[in-house]
Amino acid sequence: MATMKDVARAAGVSTYTVSAALSGSAYVSPELKARVSAAVAALGYERNSMAQSLKRGMSSLIGLIVSDVTNPFFTEFVASIQNEARQAGYSVLLGVSGHDLDSEEELLGLMRSHQAAGTILCPAGGERDYPPARLPNGKMKVVAADNAAPELGVDTVTLDNLLAAEMAVRHLLSLGHRRIGTVAGFAHQHVSRQRLQGYGAALQGAGLDADPALISHGNFRIEDARAACKRLLGLRERPSALFVANNLMLIGVMQALSDLGVRVPQDISVCSIDDFPWASAFQPALTVVRQPIAAMAAAALSCLRSRLEGDRQPVRHLVFAPELVIRQSSAAIG
């Protein structure tokens, strides 16, 4: 593989000139620039970004850690980040923690060891799981997204999860439902608790008492949600509506409902958080609260970039507004 030295020799200039011409950092005469370009093309030269990063003490890599790519929210988040990052000249190092904190920590270490300029982390844990100052320890900047508590001590980009849940539940209430169950996420995760709190707040706002029996944890997983849904439907007093805390669990819920022969929306109304391609193709089309994923991804990246450029402002918390998309899985109580 050709090195910069080879290019310099071929172009009859010094390595400095090649470096400067390539990165446009300093003025290089048009003529020399042309000679350099010609030599680069002739040799098929490609800059060794390892050497560059080593010298600069920072790479053009961005870490991206999610708990589960398979979750359509993260899928789209990853797609958006990768897209934006590339446009900004960064490459993305993907890590999947599988909702495991140790794995997440290992991944963070990997990102650091690869000298990632920064990392966008979608944390797997709740605020309790992160000892103070564990995250912002070193020169690698991190911004947390999605399941990110303000207590983490880093910039965060999140949905207004409390409001999202409230919107979903208030929608169900407005259709006349009074007995509304919820399939909630991992109890220790910040998003889950926010959404659960929003659920409670909406019920309370309607003058209803929260019945603990109506809360069933599906742990953000298909199988667990299936079981959780069956628990809810096994209740003596069945709920007439279900609020599901994310899209993956919605799959499990719809499977369970189908298994039990319960019709949507005739027998039960369903509303969940997270929109995704199948939601509109599904029969019935699914009523959901949508997250502005692309905007959140863009914000996370631009926040990270501004930190990389030396922004020393106090920690920022960006919160995005959810949007209710009413389709056919929710209907007035029969």
d(CA 14, CA 270): 68
Of 65 and 184, CB closest to a copy of itself: 65
Nearest approach, Cβ of residue 18 and DNA (Å): 7
**Is residue 3 part of the contact set for DNA (CB under 7 A)?**
yes
**Is residue 28 part of the contact set for DNA (CB under 7 A)?**
yes
d(CA 143, CA 117): 12
Nearest approach, Cβ of residue 162 and a copy of itself (Å): 28
**Is residue 87 part of the contact set for DNA (CB under 7 A)?**
no
254 binds, among a copy of itself, DNA, none (CB under 5 to 8 A by kind): a copy of itself
Q: Which of 85, 89, 123, 129 is nearest to 107 (CA)?
A: 123
Nearest approach, Cβ of residue 14 and DNA (Å): 3
92 binds, among a copy of itself, DNA, none (CB under 5 to 8 A by kind): a copy of itself
Cα–Cα–Cα angle for 213, 330, 184, rounded to 5 degrees: 35
Cα–Cα–Cα angle for 322, 147, 230, rounded to 5 degrees: 80
Question: Do the Cβ atoms of 250 and 272 come closer than 8 Å?
Answer: yes
**Is residue 23 part of the contact set for DNA (CB under 7 A)?**
yes
266 binds, among a copy of itself, DNA, none (CB under 5 to 8 A by kind): none
Q: Is 115 helix (H, G, I), strand (E, B) or coil?
A: coil
- Asked whether the bond before 30 is cis by omega within 30 degrees of 0, the reply is no
Beta bridge partners of 287: 271
**Is residue 87 part of the contact set for a copy of itself (CB under 8 A)?**
no
C-alpha atoms less than 13 angstroms from C-alpha of 301 in its C-beta half-sphere: 25
Of 38 and 54, CB closest to DNA: 54
109 binds, among a copy of itself, DNA, none (CB under 5 to 8 A by kind): a copy of itself
Q: How many CB atoms lie within 10 A of CB 1?
A: 8
The two three-digit tokens of residue 269, written as one number: 């109304």
**Is residue 270 part of the contact set for a copy of itself (CB under 8 A)?**
no
Tokens 């019935």, residue located? 284
Sheet of 287-290, strands arranged across: 215-217, 180-184, 241-244, 269-273, 287-290, 323-325
The two three-digit tokens of residue 310, written as one number: 């030396």
**Is residue 29 part of the contact set for DNA (CB under 7 A)?**
yes
Strands (E), 146-233: 155-159, 180-184, 215-217
281 binds, among DNA, a copy of itself, none (CB under 5 to 8 A by kind): a copy of itself
283 binds, among a copy of itself, DNA, none (CB under 5 to 8 A by kind): a copy of itself
20 binds, among a copy of itself, DNA, none (CB under 5 to 8 A by kind): DNA
Instruction: Report 45-74 residues binding DNA (CB under 7 A).
Output: 47-48, 51-52, 54-57
Question: Do the Cβ atoms of 278 and 320 come closer than 8 Å?
Answer: no
Q: Which range touches a copy of itself (CB under 8 A), out of 84-92, 117-125, 201-209, 266-274? A: 84-92
d(CA 279, CA 110): 36
Chain residues in the site for DNA (CB under 7 A): 1, 3-5, 12-17, 19-20, 22-23, 25-29, 32, 47-48, 51-52, 54-57
Site residues (CB under 8 A) for a copy of itself?
1, 44, 46-51, 53-54, 59, 61, 64, 68-70, 75-76, 78-79, 82-83, 86, 91-96, 109-110, 112-115, 137-139, 222, 248, 251-252, 254-255, 258, 277-278, 280-283, 285
